[in-house]
């Protein structure tokens, strides 16, 4: 069973009486453990696709199954629960809360789940250690470098052990060396079994993924396994290290 299953998903936005169709019928399946890059020029519908996959917005038509559940019929409470438990977002602009320590930023998803505060704190410390920020967890985003901020957002995305990590241009605001460091973290996370979906327009970033989906004008132009990692292409069980 696929973790993500989009079936003929369309999305249009209406503003000032004009309707723009951004996604024109996308069908897509992603399995658990995959490392997928979604690539395409700006305006192609990448971000819209991500917001639908991330349960931030509903498709205008078509259906979306996440982990076997039909998402587009869910109410706000259920959708919020899905976002909380199954999805971890990493944003280009970090979207950290200003004036709030790295620790509390990472804690944020746990505010809205059932973990006890003691467990939650342990979990936050553990994940911050994993991204190498144990020493700086009391610093607010303003006092952290770009790379450090992005590591905080990765920690925040992972803290509630989501099924999918959705990263929107995770290296877009970083210099190339830091960007490589961040990408190394994603590589490692995937190697540990996390499903990762990268949205990018940078072919170099996309090249690290095992599968590349190209989008153009709201449609999938191509969907291919990355030649360098043929054995991971389908994300099939048992082939992972």
Partner 1 sequence: MRIFRNLVQALRGLGRNKANVFLMTLGVAVGIASLTVIVAIGEGTRAKVLDRIAGFGFGPESFSIYAGSGRLFFRKAQMPTNMSFQDVEDVASLPTVRHVMPRQRKRLRAVYRKNSTSTRIYGVTPLWEIIRAWPIVDGKFFDDRDMDRKSKVAVLGATPVKNLFPPGEDPLGKSVRMGNVFFKVVGLLEEKGLTESGYDPDNRVLIPISTSVARLTHEAHLHSIKVQAMSPEVVDETMEATRQILRRNHNLSPITSDDFRFVTPTGIMEWITEQKQAMNRMLILISTVSLLVGGIVIMNIMLVSIRERIHEIGVRRCFGARRSDITQQFLFESVFVSMLGGIVGTIFGVVVSLVLKRTDFIPAQITWEPFVLAALFSGAVGLVFGIQPARKAANWSPEETIR
Shortest separation between residue 24's beta carbon and partner 1, angstroms: 19
Shortest separation between residue 134's beta carbon and partner 1, angstroms: 22
Does 109 help bind partner 1 (rule: CB under 8 A)? yes
Shortest separation between residue 129's beta carbon and partner 1, angstroms: 20
- Tokens of residue 101, six digits: 């320590």
Does 67 help bind partner 1 (rule: CB under 8 A)? no
Tell me the CA distances in angstroms from 237 to 35, 122, 191, one per residue in order.
13, 31, 13
Shortest separation between residue 66's beta carbon and partner 1, angstroms: 14
Does 80 help bind partner 1 (rule: CB under 8 A)? yes
Shortest separation between residue 42's beta carbon and partner 1, angstroms: 14
How far apart, in whole angstroms, are the C-alpha atoms of residue 215 and residue 213?
7
Residue (74 or 219) nearer to partner 1, CB? 74
Does 83 help bind partner 1 (rule: CB under 8 A)? yes
Distance from the Cα of residue 1 to its chain's centroid: 20
Shortest separation between residue 227's beta carbon and partner 1, angstroms: 34
Of 5, 22, 38, 89, the residue at the interface with partner 1 (CB under 8 A) is 89
Does 129 help bind partner 1 (rule: CB under 8 A)? no
- Tokens of residue 27, six digits: 């069908």
Shortest separation between residue 64's beta carbon and partner 1, angstroms: 14
Residue (84 or 194) nearer to partner 1, CB? 84
Does 170 help bind partner 1 (rule: CB under 8 A)? no
Of 2, 7, 25, 56, the residue at the interface with partner 1 (CB under 8 A) is 56
| Rounded-to-10 torsion of CA 224, 227, 230, 235 | -40
Tell me the CA distances in angstroms from 206 to 29, 90, 210, one per residue in order.
18, 16, 8
How far apart, in whole angstroms, are the C-alpha atoms of residue 37 and residue 241?
20
- Tokens of residue 37, six digits: 């890059």
Cα end-to-end span (Å), the chain: 21
- Tokens of residue 124, six digits: 């936050």
Of 70, 97, 191, 236, the residue at the interface with partner 1 (CB under 8 A) is 97
Q: Which single residue is written with the structure tokens 């989906």?
A: 213
How far apart, in whole angstroms, are the C-alpha atoms of residue 51 and residue 198?
13
Counting residues that bind partner 1 (by CB under 8 A) gives 27
Does 99 help bind partner 1 (rule: CB under 8 A)? yes
User: Residue 128 carries which DSSP code?
Assistant: H
**Binding region for partner 1 (CB under 8 A):** 51, 54, 56-57, 76-77, 80-81, 83-85, 89, 91, 95-100, 104, 108-109, 111-113, 156, 160
């Amino acid at each position: 069973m696929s973790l993500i299953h989009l079936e003929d998903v369309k999305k249009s936005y209406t503003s000032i009486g004009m309707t723009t169709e951004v996604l024109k019928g996308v069908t897509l399946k992603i399995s658990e453990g995959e490392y997928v890059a979604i690539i395409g020029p700006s305006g192609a519908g990448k971000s819209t696709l991500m917001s639908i996959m991330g349960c931030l917005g509903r498709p205008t038509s078509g259906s979306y199954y996440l982990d076997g559940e039909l998402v587009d019929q869910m109410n706000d409470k259920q959708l919020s629960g899905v976002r909380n438990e199954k999805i971890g977002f990493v944003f280009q602009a970090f979207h950290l809360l200003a004036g709030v320590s790295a620790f509390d930023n990472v804690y944020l998803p746990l505010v809205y789940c059932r973990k006890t505060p003691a467990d939650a704190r342990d979990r936050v410390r553990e994940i911050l250690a994993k991204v190498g920020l144990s020493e700086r967890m009391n610093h607010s985003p303003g006092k952290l470098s770009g790379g450090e901020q992005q590591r905080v957002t990765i920690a925040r995305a992972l803290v509630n052990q989501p099924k999918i990590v959705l990263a929107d241009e995770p290296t877009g605001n970083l210099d190339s060396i830091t960007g490589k460091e961040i990408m190394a973290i994603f590589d490692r996370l995937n190697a540990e079994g996390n499903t990762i979906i990268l949205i990018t327009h940078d072919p170099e970033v996309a090249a690290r993924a095992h599968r590349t989906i190209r989008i153009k004008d709201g449609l999938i132009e191509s969907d291919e396994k990355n030649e360098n990692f043929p054995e991971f292409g389908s994300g099939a069980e048992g082939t992972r290290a």
